[in-house]
Structure 1
């Protein structure tokens, strides 16, 4: 812990919210989803045990909220075994440094996300010109510089296992970011998606505010590789998940999830890929 961790110089609180903000939901007996402003974190493990992990780390400035939600579910002074990151965008690592300092736990992410988490490389700039609404227009204010977790972050094991999440496997689902992963448990087909697809049109402020449920591709203003994004959605749909907890929007399950994911795969270019924007390759249409 001798390495001084830091956020990028553009790190700041982002004034965005939704009606879901502050609301938690037990999706499965050992999977709890909580919304921090506009993004979801997951606590995976049986309540009141010390055996659990945190998936993703919320918005900038949300550490106190995440700690309090964790203690409410797992008991006072409880701490996860680890923090697993689906990817390193600002709204998924917003409180990670404070949480690592408070809990003294390791962080795991895909090898290809490591440059963005060890201070080496910025993400591409968000694209405010992309087809979409106000959230897309706000995106230039979103932090995209790398954070530096130093030796507190380690690559996920290359064999697909997830530390401290015995029954889950990580699946590489790039497109939204190079090292994006989703987490899947075969026995009940539970899927923690990250942002490979979401259940709210994340570009539109009205839909984000109201959390109107509608399956969509990854948030457009930060997605840079649409061909990879499409392949990732196809890979996840082939798993036939029974329930999906996405990075944005409400969890989706059962027939609605099955039909929505099928439609997203079949109509990906129409539903997910924006008609214009600087990361849109016209060849994908």
Structure 2
């Protein structure tokens, strides 16, 4: 059955430090296939499949995964998704994060060799195991700044480094939707810059937000915070003004 093109934000709930945290991958689709942008933490395969079942497309339409960057809460369930599928799924990411995602280098922010003994001992056993055994995924195609993927009415790649070396955001032309990844977060229905504690180079990350000003945006999906409806320009300009002084 043919389905119209569309975009849907997925909510994946996890327990972290006694609190419930919601991650927001994005599912986009057209008549040919569906694409999942980011994949939650390891072990969320079934939650992703259940979320897809609530949309006009099912798991067996999944033809590609786009990873906005290397963090473990974005790449986590990608290996399970690939294993579960009965067809080849293309995996996209930026070249600057490729060696980390493929396992040639340890994930920067969860590299236990960089942690003190005190930091290691503070980690729950299951988290320490995960940090020492991170997911690894082969990248099939590398993303470049300004690249236009011919799916779902057009997906444009916006290279937004800083949060990680290879962080990308994505612009869905058909729906004027920006998928920000971790370049911005939404809190109290307002847009904010990237989280300082988890951003490798805050100055570069903030500077990257200038690129969004060139796009006609009506919706923003933040991986942390979810959907923001409206013009993000005033928030972006305010972030740039406050941080780049």
Give the alignment of 1:242-261 within 5 angstroms: 242-255=218-231, 257-261=232-236
Cα distance 1:99–1:224, how it changes in 2: closer, same or farther (>3 A)? same
- TM-score where L is the length of structure 2: 0.77
Q: Matched residue of 1:53: which SS?
A: strand
In the TM superposition, residue 126 of structure 1 has moved relative to its aligned partner by: 6.0
| CA shift digits 1:76-101 (9 cap, x unpaired) | 55331100111121111121111011
Q: What is the aligned partner in structure 1 of residue 101 from structure 2? A: 117
Q: Matched residue of 1:230: which SS?
A: helix
In 2, Cα distance between equivalents of 1:70 and 1:90: 21
In 1, Cα distance between equivalents of 2:222 and 2:169: 9
Residue 39 of structure 1 is aligned with which of 8, 23, 27?
23
Runs of 5+ consecutive residues of structure 2 not aligned to the other structure: 14-21, 112-121
In the TM superposition, residue 228 of structure 1 has moved relative to its aligned partner by: 1.1
Residue 191 of structure 1 is aligned with which of 169, 178, 182?
178
| CA shift digits 1:137-170 (9 cap, x unpaired) | 989x5855653223x5431267612363451110
Partners of 2:9 and 2:226 within 8 A in 1: no
In 2, Cα distance between equivalents of 1:95 and 1:219: 23
| CA shift digits 1:155-200 (9 cap, x unpaired) | 1267612363451110100000111111113454321111111113
Is it true that 1:156 corresponds to 2:143 in the alignment?
yes
Give the alignment of 1:9-158 within 5 angstroms: 30-37=6-13, 38-46=22-30, 49-76=31-58, 78-103=60-85, 104-125=88-109, 141=127, 147-150=135-138, 153-156=140-143
Is it true that 1:223 corresponds to 2:211 in the alignment?
no
In the TM superposition, residue 250 of structure 1 has moved relative to its aligned partner by: 2.5
- TM-score where L is the length of structure 1: 0.67
Partners of 2:163 and 2:199 within 8 A in 1: yes
In 2, Cα distance between equivalents of 1:250 and 1:174: 20
Q: What is the aligned partner in structure 2 of residue 172 from structure 1? A: 159
Runs of 5+ consecutive residues of structure 1 not aligned to the other structure: 1-28, 128-136, 201-211, 270-284
| CA shift digits 1:43-91 (9 cap, x unpaired) | 1125xx4522111101221110101222332455533110011112111
In 2, Cα distance between equivalents of 1:167 and 1:214: 27
Q: Please tell me the root mean square deviation across aligned C-alpha atoms, in Å.
A: 2.9
Partners of 2:177 and 2:220 within 8 A in 1: yes
Cα distance 1:163–1:113, how it changes in 2: closer, same or farther (>3 A)? farther
Q: What is the aligned partner in structure 1 of residue 237 from structure 2? A: 262
